[in-house]
Chain A
Amino acid sequence: MRADGPRLATWLLLGPALLWLVLLIVLPHVDMLLVSLRLRAGFGQYQTSAVHYLAFFTEPLYWRTFMRTAVMSILATFLTLVIAFPVAWYIAKMVRGRVRSLLFLACLVPFWVSELVRTYGWMILLRETGVVSGFLQWSGLASGPVEMLYNDVAVMVGLVYASMLFMVVPLVTTLDSLDDSLIEAAYDLGGNAWSVLREIVIPFAMPGIVSGCIVVFMLSLGNYLTPVLLGGKDSMWFTEQIFTQFIVRFNWEQGAAFGVLLLVLSSLIVWLGLKLTRQSFTEVMR
């Protein structure tokens, strides 16, 4: 009886999380996989087929859209890292106490409103009759209305803005645990700012950098609102394809196949990234 006690407790504690995982994540994915493998042969008639996966590889449109989404997401991840690293360094090392909390808060505040509202905010700023265009005309820097919306740069700005917090937080956490005396010692041994950054800081912060990059990459890849609203007529984001297949075309089979492919291919890219930077997943997620 007594021996069963702790085991039962463990299961009870795990129960809600396991149920959540199985009912809301594993089962839907299995169902999606099954849906993606069937072909609608007639009214209410189905047969098993891989034709929807073939469509992805044979129709250049889908393949190109995915590649474009992946490349843009990788670029967004890189830009986010470059911008977030100094910010995280400043928060972790340069300031203390109230200022530090305030800076953290400043990173957090934009996330108090929904993504939709934030994206509309960018639209108000960037559109032809928007704030930035108006300011440029008022200040005489531009002679006519300037359109800054509906292009890839606008999408990139939106993506970086939307994922900044998810890069800053893991970076601050790892940089925080970096002992200042290590940096001092490096300088004492004749290092300069660049070599200290390269030899001491970046290797130490690598787990934080990689976990931040994984989160930002996945968020960008799976983003729907930002590319669609800011990208305009050429946005071409892969999640948009999935949405279109499911909701507009009623082609659940094709949409499900795209969903599975997105999951597999993005996992593959993350795995490749880990291999290239020689990080192990368990190390990064610790």
Chain B
Amino acid sequence: MVVLPAAVALVWPVVASADELRLLTWGGYAPDEVVQAFEKETGIKVLVTLSNNEDMISKLRATGGAGFDLAQPSQDRITSAQQEFNIYKPIEFTKINQAQIIDSMLAATRKNTAIGDEVFGVPHIWGTSGLVVNRSVAERVKDWTDLCGPDLVGKVSYRMRRPILIGMAFAMGENPFEAYADVPRYERMMEKVGETLVACKPNVKAYWSGGDELINLVSSGEVVAAEGWDAGGWKLHDEKPEISFVAPASGALGWIDTFALPRRGKNEEAAYKWINFVMKPEIAAQITRSAGNFSASKGAEAFVDERLKANYQASFDQAAIDNIRWYPPVPAGLEAIEGRILDRVQAAR
């Protein structure tokens, strides 16, 4: 009788106090200096949990949308997760200082994260996936399919996730985003991509899964061409000038990370305050410095340092920017197809 309440108290989840913001986000999106400045201005303590798209959905699904007050999934992953698991609540746009956000991005995210009349996302940071390439092979690696080219045996790395499938499909002359609505067509396309990736396997040194792994492989020179994020490529470039980020000829893959409210979050007010705080141009520039990616905040570029701008311009000329393929929302069910293909590639010898 005595033991039971004690055990229950142990198991009971810690109740969030009113002046706490539990933030589920990506590495670099909530740097210490910004967290401290926010705490000073509002008195709200920020508890940061680092995550990625799949992990965010898994965590929120496990609790039915509890445990966090604000999450930052990519915009293309919101509607399917919401329909399937009901983990978010709609954004109240009256509480957001919309004048701080670039209009075109705000409109695009509103459209891409809407279910009926309800909108679930506000844009925050955007960036691209493309190729991280060593100068020694830069002449030969200009598109996704070049990763599978001859003479690169054991010198290539990519992540066994969606981007490599989508990128390969584009480089093979297909348009996977158009095929999103047509499941059989998408499946055929992915089968073909799967075959390419199986044939490509001798080129692969190791599949990377975290950013550190990629950086290790590329900066040691063991891998000379890899799939990666632009920010990762630029970070490597600052350390080793021979490495750079290249936008693939068939188009870099563009993503936008958003703010979304977990359905059973406790401190909604703090979440809105954080959104409005970090979208101020000078704060947004601080986050850009730590994350390496640009934000949807209006006027933040003015505060971003010159080196990052130079890196960005070296990777993207105007044509490459126009050629960025922005991820549309993923319909539920497609990821099961992709999963099967990835499993098969992984198992092939």
Which A residues form the contact surface with B (CB < 8 A)? 12, 15-16, 19, 23, 43-44, 61, 64-65, 127-129, 147, 149-150, 228, 232-234, 236, 244, 246-252
The CA-CA distance from A127 to B336 in the complex, in Å, is 34
Q: In the complex, how many residue pairs between chain A and chain B have their CB atoms under 8 Å apart?
A: 67
B241 at the interface (CB under 8 A from A): no
B58 at the interface (CB under 8 A from A): yes
B212's closest neighbor in chain A, by CB?
A: A120
A99 to chain B, nearest CB (A): 40
Question: For A233, what are the chain B residues with a Cβ–Cβ distance below 8 Å?
Answer: 201, 204-207, 346
Residues A232 and B222 in contact, CB atoms below 8 Å apart: no
Known: A19-B7, A232-B206. A248 touches B339 (CB 8 A): yes
Question: For B58, what are the chain A residues with a Cβ–Cβ distance below 8 Å?
Answer: 246-247, 250
The CA-CA distance from A247 to B161 in the complex, in Å, is 12
Instruction: Give chain A's interface secondary structure class.
Output: helix
Q: With A128-B222, A147-B154, A251-B339 given, can you name 9 additional A-B contacts, CB distance below 8 Å?
A: A12-B2, A15-B3, A61-B343, A61-B347, A127-B222, A236-B347, A248-B161, A250-B57, A250-B84
B291-343 residues at the A interface, CB under 8 angstroms: 332, 335-336, 339, 343
B contact residues, range: 20 to 34
Question: For A64, what are the chain B residues with a Cβ–Cβ distance below 8 Å?
Answer: 347
The CA-CA distance from A133 to B88 in the complex, in Å, is 50
B11 at the interface (CB under 8 A from A): yes
The CA-CA distance from A24 to B7 in the complex, in Å, is 11
Residues A250 and B220 in contact, CB atoms below 8 Å apart: no
- Interface core residue of B3, B220, B221, B346 (most chain A CB under 10 Å): B346
B196 at the interface (CB under 8 A from A): no
The CA-CA distance from A61 to B332 in the complex, in Å, is 24
B155-193 residues at the A interface, CB under 8 angstroms: 161
B222's closest neighbor in chain A, by CB?
A: A128
Residues A250 and B3 in contact, CB atoms below 8 Å apart: no
B54 at the interface (CB under 8 A from A): yes
A20's closest neighbor in chain B, by CB?
A: B7
